[in-house]
Structure 1
């Protein structure tokens, strides 16, 4: 059993996590109403899954990940999650589960749904269901009671089916002990690191090599579109001195901000003491308001008469003209303006923007000249092209050498001999738990998964591993004895965890097998490829 767990470590860990995520998506993100009509993407036993449903499910998944990871989730990362495929899979899974639950008469009754909702803590006050709270929470989540109750019926029906399928799953004492051993064992490995830097000295690219590289990787060197803009500024300070502040406004401001003038724990100063500060602040406010008014007036006139430069000259306004810049390098003082890059990108030549603002005042801009994006000629960037070509070629040669070394290891040659021929120093780790940090090697998912699968009978990973900006080959060395002192204290919790994992994997396997069978029987038809959605 333990050897089997090591061999399938990736499946044990990843299927469990993936299964839990899918269950969450099916139960809590499945909000199909059956009312959306659009192009059919799939048909499950005669029931259509519309494109609009897939798009809605995709939006739910994307929002889920954005809430989980916040600003650290980039568009590229989101793309790598294959959410469109997950959305379609989730909807198909929902349809299969509901179809099977119906066949077995496991559909949740209205009373079961009602009792479940009324017992839900989030809808209660003082331990009793509260209709007002229930309605408010549904409105916040943009759901009608009918939609929510239908989703809960699907969830409860799916739970009944899942429970029925999982009832046959059992866990033996030996499996629990093997699981404990799997979690607590420590191993020792030997490894060789191949560094791309060691291969750079032997690389001397020809002119043809560089030309080919530039042709194939031209976008790496592309100079983005550049533009030049003119701006008319209306700083609030230019209008602040013209403000006539009424005494009543000064008194009113003092009364509303009295506590802010006081020192911490002290008494608020008198109006006389802070009057200059109040006048200054009110002048700034008044100045900003006047600046906004003048900017709006100038904008409307220039928009109608298309006289940007002449209006500025007639009204003694200074026109600021920027140097050429790219949208990823916005010049001051525009860099702090929200969505400025998008505003500029959307403007046509000689078109003026809406009135914009920053902390200093108001302004609007006009796009002047533009320089189209282009790929420079080789003669102008030859040094940079040569550098990148050398880095790429060194990396390719490094990987090839590491792959060859791993192949020789698998044929029975010694790590020491291979190290000597490649002028490398073999390294050895101390005992560590697979998945934990290894001295001298950066942890990553590829390495962790490879380590879980190593054993006496399987001492090498399937492939070389990308680690520490290079390539490593590793070899299983030794396994430590397992300390079983706390086994009995942890046994019951481990048993429940293992049971949950096995049941979840069993259910997911059933779901995949059912899906495959329905496709074979023609009961499940996919009408559109995911890349076309």
Structure 2
């Protein structure tokens, strides 16, 4: 289908950028299109969603979350984000949208697909599509051309559907102005905070403590707890046992050769005299005159680095204007064109960009090429060591697990494999308090075991665990003697809270009646919705209450519940933002509001599609998920 593009594309070295590959991988997942659909996760109006597709979508979501949180992600985080449910719902919604596009008889031509792919920057060099790069990137990620192009066709189809459905969404001038005023208006208040810690409740009797305990026994019930021993097979502990040969390094280097290709680069310095977008012509002319003077100074023999240190307005000035080594696409186009046209040691004419006026000197030109084996060998060695250590840890864990199936306990396995046998203190459903990175996953496995039963292999953050419960403590209601201090503390806390709320209500009532509050109220001055309250600090709940009041309302109905107590306030002044600022940002505001409308419309539309669709989730898949 892309034969026309491939035939016209010039042949040049493939450029591989890891970040781009990650983007492609996250966007597409792994290839499952051609893997068949022997197992189905769900059907949508009779159309099968394969388990393989679900797994690819799930992994793409996990990878996104890992990048967001930086590395490993706990079982708890994945549960919090409901990744399993999200993955399946995304696939169901995509299928519903494709079916809706078919109902509207929308189509995407081969030329449209070809143009879309040819426009993707990670398949281009010097702004032109390259078939070699295109095919090598797909191959490197296990994707066929047919799968990728079919996915692009579907995405373009969904874009057409989106334009059809949301094309009529508009935002009026009044809507935009009202939103801007609501988000950017400022208020000034008088306020007071009533903290329970500032109130001293009356002492309570033993009889009152007993009565409280008797009426709240379940509050003090202990959770079930277990004590466990475990073996941990951590790949880091196997690093010293693995060896990476020269042959391994060379083979991996050859297999990844595309990833070590580097574009043409230059090492350069520059001097910048700043101007801003929209600056007056005389200011821009003055900056140009200054850069010309500096150029004459350098041509007359002044050292470029010294001139940069003295006059450049870029942070690189302190290093003599040094920008290091960079490829053409790393800089704005006018700067790159000038830099890459220079010879080594040559000084540029003045160059204007959106940042101002530049002088550029190229120190070194580095041609397109491949990183030599020696430059990447240590990095490859580290990766292969990690990979082999993972395999060694998994192999040892498998053998240990097999030994437990044959009747060995963890103590015996520990001695044979020379691994420390760890023992926990009693712990509940949140897991051990230390020593385990994902306590909830560990606890979930432990609580499913009978006493002295050995778990299956459990993977937590790239380490494997074998767990055995050695003792168990059932849930119970402790006698009053054990929890008397807790009961008393709870009573005093509630009483102090009640006193604080009562006083807050008294002050609010006095303000409503125009009476003297006998309290010193803090005057804040003007502040915005997203700003800390002057004289009081960051109090999100109080800010929300203040800005939730309508025009003509000055007092809340009830004291505001805060983390530290109760707040009472009275609005003294409201100030609307400058309308000129709104006009300057009007288009962005309308764009944001249009996006919000589209999101609400999409949610309603999708809910309607789902309510009319026949969606069946397979029982086997439900057991897996």
Which category of TM-score, normalised to the shorter sequence, fits these structures?
Answer: 0.5 to 0.7
1:491 aligns with 2:592: no
Q: Distance in 2 between matches of 1:92 and 1:470?
A: 46
Q: Distance in 2 between matches of 1:120 and 1:370?
A: 60
Q: Which ranges of structure 2 fall in alignment gaps of 5 or more residues?
A: 1-22, 232-395, 458-464
Aligned 1:288-437 pairs, distance under 5 A:
328=432, 349=452, 370=471, 372=473, 375=476, 377-379=478-480, 381-387=482-488, 389-390=490-491, 393-394=494-495, 397=498, 401=502, 413-414=512-513, 425-437=520-532
Q: Distance in 2 between matches of 1:106 and 1:328?
A: 56
Q: Distance in 1 between matches of 2:89 and 2:438?
A: 38
Match of 2:595 in 1: 504
Q: Which moved more, 1:49-58 or 1:110-119?
A: 49-58
Partners of 1:62 and 1:78 within 8 A in 2: yes
TM-score (norm 1): 0.57
Pick closer, same or farther for the CA change 1:337–1:453 going to 2, 3 Å.
closer
1:127 aligns with 2:218: no
Match of 2:218 in 1: 215
1:515 aligns with 2:619: no
Match of 1:206 among 206, 209, 220: 209
Aligned residues: 410
SS of alignment partner, residue 201 of structure 1: coil
Aligned 1:146-295 pairs, distance under 5 A:
146-198=146-198, 201-202=201-202, 204=204, 205-218=208-221, 221-222=222-223, 224-226=225-227
How far apart are 1:371 and its partner, in Å? 5.1
Q: List per-residue Cα deviations over 1:84-132 (Å, max 9, x = no partner).
A: 5544553444334333333333333232122212211122233333445
Q: Which moved more, 1:495-504 or 1:124-133?
A: 124-133
Pick closer, same or farther for the CA change 1:197–1:158 going to 2, 3 Å.
same
Q: Greater strand percent: which structure?
A: 2
SS of alignment partner, residue 477 of structure 1: strand
How far apart are 1:215 and its partner, in Å? 1.6
How far apart are 1:425 and its partner, in Å? 4.5
Match of 1:472 among 563, 567, 572: 567
Partners of 1:453 and 1:461 within 8 A in 2: no
How far apart are 1:449 and its partner, in Å? 4.6
Q: Which ranges of structure 1 fall in alignment gaps of 5 or more residues?
A: 1-23, 231-294, 355-363
Partners of 2:181 and 2:576 within 8 A in 1: no
Q: Distance in 1 between matches of 2:137 and 2:521?
A: 61
Partners of 1:416 and 1:426 within 8 A in 2: no
How far apart are 1:434 and its partner, in Å? 0.7
Pick closer, same or farther for the CA change 1:167–1:77 going to 2, 3 Å.
same
Match of 2:40 among 38, 41, 46: 38
Pick closer, same or farther for the CA change 1:499–1:123 going to 2, 3 Å.
same
Match of 1:18 in 2: none
Q: Which moved more, 1:387-396 or 1:179-188?
A: 387-396
TM-score (norm 2): 0.50
Q: Distance in 2 between matches of 1:211 and 1:170?
A: 62
Q: List per-residue Cα deviations over 1:431-482 (Å, max 9, x = no partner).
A: 0111111135554665555444333235456876443432334444321253
SS of alignment partner, residue 390 of structure 1: helix
Aligned 1:73-112 pairs, distance under 5 A:
79-83=79-83, 86-87=86-87, 89-112=89-112
How far apart are 1:150 and its partner, in Å? 3.4
Partners of 1:186 and 1:433 within 8 A in 2: yes
